[in-house]
């Protein structure tokens, strides 16, 4: 059955009606659900298998029949592990219907369909009894309900219901226990993701609005690959604290709780950020541990397991505060049924403060700007590039129009002396935020912000003036892939009738760049999963594998490559150029060519990014931040996601081998899509 869905096109800005089938949705959901990553996580699989075998053995030693409840079964892997370990029967619960159907196929293929019952329900809807989903309560509870924050996928309510309704008292649980750890740090880098910092523009200081500086920020966790944040980027103010543990073999509560850990400050500084992660113990003795700790906590960092389905958490304190070396502090974590938040207090206070409520943005900035966007706005070098470019094109009589979302460019233009500055904003909230910034810096009225689409802008909106400088970062909140920022080109074309004949366009052009790469770990998210090393089961059937491969060979996907190390195996090169000084062409733009693979390694695919030529002399990159290293080392901007195109099969390039990455790109101005194709061939 076909359905039509209306979607805003991030490149053209138009509403597109997309035809989709049920099968398409099935493929997309499974392909984006991290199953390949989890199934390639050997450390996770091994620890779960060890814990399951131990739990089955303990139940059997008591002379009991082993009945397993597996909540969130996914592919059915953990249920099959339990049967392999000697369980008598498994109830495998999976709420996502396509995945439940796939699990049924996988279980059947492995010969367990008579001992595993797939239940396509949320676990809180499962019933027990002669006419229920389960004939009897289970005495082993196996779950994989965790996310980076541990409880963000509703683990606590699910456990609470399971203990009340689905498992026996004193049941075995795998995992048996989870423990959350946290460390208070000062970090200019991480804090720049939470608060707008003062900026220097043309010798003047631009300060954030007071409401922004005093705002507690957004409550959502910031999950990152903390292994890629260098320990030199932060200063620990205290030791790693054990915040709380949850024993999954006993009744669990999803009610609000708070936990406090006291410590003595190891150094003075600004308490700004809490780094946090957790581990799970698979058995009561704690001898089988699966840890989420970042690699720099390991004696040998290279031995740390890599995983993308579970990462580490960064929490921003509601306000930064000064602490002194030797000061007695208490770090408090609060949680409801789905999220955690932190606060810090000096123990010298006479009164013990009540646990704070969940932080909530009151300034609108944390609703308008994402964490990477905060980092981008706080990037001094990037600001200097825009200020330098603007200074070179602005005149005393300049009439400027800015087209970007939540941008500071119109503020910069006003501070640099433009006669009149307009800005187009996509939302009222964004418009109000920039107005707050202007008022806080005594520039109210210096910039006129218009909440109107480019194609709807009229000469009357501009006071019958023509635009002499059209500018953009370009940044748009709807962009996912790097080339979605070509929406600026569509805006420039729509505004052509309002431009002076020799108007300056900034950026004047953009180029799409690519480099062939070998990924350290990211390749695992789309790698085939036909077998599971170390276990006598096949966790992936052909149908699910096709889902994981569904769009891999035809489309790129966005990833923040600073979190995912890779090596360049070819030179980087501009493969398409877009001239913003001209209107959009009527016909598609195509580009073909090849890049030699100049370094030995396994080529997993290509990385793609945009670079913007603000002027002939100033360029801003949304990808590589410098030259590729001698061994192919790549440094990526933390502010934007890059495009990643993974080859269906990696190419092994030997030191003396001669091969090239062929590419073909076609930009269709009607759809805004860039179709691409790549192949590696020996020369």
Say whether 153 is catalytic. yes
Of 58, 78, 62, nearest to 70 (Cα)?
Answer: 78
Q: What is the dihedral of CA 580, 584, 587, 588, to 10 degrees?
A: 50
What is the sign, positive or negative, of the torsion defined by CA atoms of 93, 97, 101, 103? negative
**Token pair listed for 599:** 């370094």
| Helix orientation angle between 97-109 and 22-31, rounded to the nearest 10 degrees | 80
Determine the Cα–Cα distance for residues 304 and 257; give it in Å rounded to an integer: 31
Determine the Cα–Cα distance for residues 306 and 520; give it in Å rounded to an integer: 10
Catalytic residue among 20, 46, 153, 552: 153
Catalytic residue among 144, 172, 376, 473: 144
Q: What is the dihedral of CA 43, 45, 50, 56, to 10 degrees?
A: 160
Q: Strands 619-621, 289-291: parallel, antiparallel or unpaired by DSSP?
A: unpaired
Q: How many CB atoms lie within 10 A of CB 389?
A: 26
**Token pair listed for 458:** 């009229």
Determine the Cα–Cα distance for residues 541 and 530; give it in Å rounded to an integer: 7
The DSSP secondary structure of 14-67, one letter per residue, reads: -EEEEEEEHHHHHHHHHHTTTHHHHHT-HHHHHHHHHHHHHHHHHHHHTT---E
Determine the Cα–Cα distance for residues 515 and 449; give it in Å rounded to an integer: 39
**Token pair listed for 92:** 């495998």
Determine the Cα–Cα distance for residues 462 and 459; give it in Å rounded to an integer: 5
Determine the Cα–Cα distance for residues 568 and 609; give it in Å rounded to an integer: 14
Of 606, 608, 604, 607, nearest to 653 (Cα)?
Answer: 604
Of 263, 256, 273, nearest to 331 (Cα)?
Answer: 263
Which runs of E-coded beta strand occur in 110-208?
116-119, 138-143, 167-174, 177-186, 199-201, 204-206
Determine the Cα–Cα distance for residues 428 and 92; give it in Å rounded to an integer: 47
By CB atoms closer than 10 A (0-12, 13-18, 19+), residue 198 is exposed
609 contacts 621 by C-beta, under 8 angstroms: yes
Determine the Cα–Cα distance for residues 270 and 189; give it in Å rounded to an integer: 13
Q: Phi and psi at residue 155, in whole multiples of 5°?
A: -60, -45
Q: What SS3 state is found at 667?
A: strand
Determine the Cα–Cα distance for residues 143 and 158; give it in Å rounded to an integer: 10
What residues are labeled active site?
A: 144, 153
């Amino acid at each position: 059955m076909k359905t039509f869905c209306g979607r805003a096109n991030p490149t053209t800005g138009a509403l597109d009606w997309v035809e989709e089938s049920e099968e398409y949705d099935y493929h997309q959901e499974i392909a984006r659900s991290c199953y390949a990553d989890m199934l390639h996580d050997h450390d996770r699989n091994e620890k779960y298998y060890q814990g399951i075998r131990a739990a089955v053995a303990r139940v059997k030693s008591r002379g009991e029949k082993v009945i397993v409840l597996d909540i969130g079964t996914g592919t059915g892997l953990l249920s099959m592990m339990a049967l392999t370990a000697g369980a008598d029967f498994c109830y495998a619960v999976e709420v996502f219907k396509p995945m439940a159907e796939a699990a049924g196929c996988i279980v059947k293929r492995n010969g367990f369909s008579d001992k595993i019952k797939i239940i396509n329900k949320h676990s809180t809807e499962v019933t027990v009894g002669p006419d229920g989903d389960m004939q009897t309560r289970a005495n082993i509870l196996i779950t994989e309900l965790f996310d980076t924050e541990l409880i963000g996928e509703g683990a606590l309510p699910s456990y609470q219901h399971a203990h009340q309704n689905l498992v026996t008292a004193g049941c075995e649980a795998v995992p048996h226990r989870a423990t959350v750890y946290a460390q208070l740090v000062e970090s200019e880098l991480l804090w720049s993701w939470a608060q707008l910092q003062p900026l220097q523009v043309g010798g003047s200081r631009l300060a954030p609005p007071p409401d922004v500086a005093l705002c507690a920020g957004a409550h959502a966790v910031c999950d990152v690959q903390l292994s890629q944040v260098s320990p030199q980027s932060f200063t620990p103010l205290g030791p790693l604290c054990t915040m709380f543990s949850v024993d999954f073999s006993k009744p669990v509560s999803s009610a609000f709780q708070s936990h406090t850990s006291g410590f003595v400050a190891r150094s003075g500084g600004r308490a700004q950020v809490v780094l946090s992660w957790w581990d799970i113990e698979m058995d009561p003795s704690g001898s089988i541990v699966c840890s989420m700790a970042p690699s720099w906590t390991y004696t040998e960092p290279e031995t740390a397991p890599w995983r993308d389905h579970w990462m580490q958490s960064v929490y921003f304190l509601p306000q930064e505060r000064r602490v002194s070396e030797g000061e007695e502090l208490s770090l408090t974590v609060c949680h409801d049924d789905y999220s955690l938040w932190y606060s810090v207090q000096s123990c010298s206070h006479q009164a013990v403060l009540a646990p704070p409520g969940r932080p909530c943005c009151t300034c609108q900035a944390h609703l308008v700007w994402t964490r990477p966007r905060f980092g981008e706005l706080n990037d001094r070098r990037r600001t200097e590039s825009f200020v330098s470019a603007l200074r070179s094109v602005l005149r005393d009589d300049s009439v400027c129009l800015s087209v970007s979302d939540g941008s500071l460019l119109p503020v910069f233009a006003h501070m640099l002396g433009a006669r009149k500055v307009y800005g187009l904003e996509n939302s009222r909230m964004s418009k109000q935020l920039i107005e707050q910034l202007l008022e806080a810096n005594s520039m109210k009225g210096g910039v006129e912000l218009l909440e109107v689409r480019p194609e709807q802008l009229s000469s009357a909106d501009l006071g019958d003036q023509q635009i002499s400088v059209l500018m953009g970062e370009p940044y748009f909140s709807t962009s996912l892939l790097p080339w979605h920022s070509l929406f600026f080109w569509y805006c420039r074309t729509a505004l052509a009738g309002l431009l002076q004949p020799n108007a300056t366009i900034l950026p004047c052009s953009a180029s799409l760049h690519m480099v062939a790469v070998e990924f350290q770990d990211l390749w695992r998210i789309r790698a085939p999963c036909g077998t599971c090393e170390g276990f006598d089961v096949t966790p992936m059937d052909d149908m699910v594998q096709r889902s994981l491969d569904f769009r891999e060979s035809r489309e790129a996907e966005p990833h923040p490559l600073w979190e995912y190390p890779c090596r360049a195996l070819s030179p980087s090169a501009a493969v398409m150029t877009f001239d913003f000084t001209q209107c959009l062409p009527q016909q598609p733009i195509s580009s073909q060519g090849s890049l030699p693979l100049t370094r030995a390694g396994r080529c997993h695919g290509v990385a793609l990014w945009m670079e913007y030529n603000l002027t002939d002399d100033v360029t801003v990159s949304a990808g590589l931040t410098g030259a590729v290293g001698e061994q192919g080392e790549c440094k990526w901007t933390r502010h934007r996601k890059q495009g990643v195109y993974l080859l269906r099969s990696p190419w092994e390039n030997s030191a003396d081998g001669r091969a090239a990455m062929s590419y073909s790109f076609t930009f269709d101005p009607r759809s805004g899509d860039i179709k691409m194709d790549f192949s590696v061939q020996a020369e």
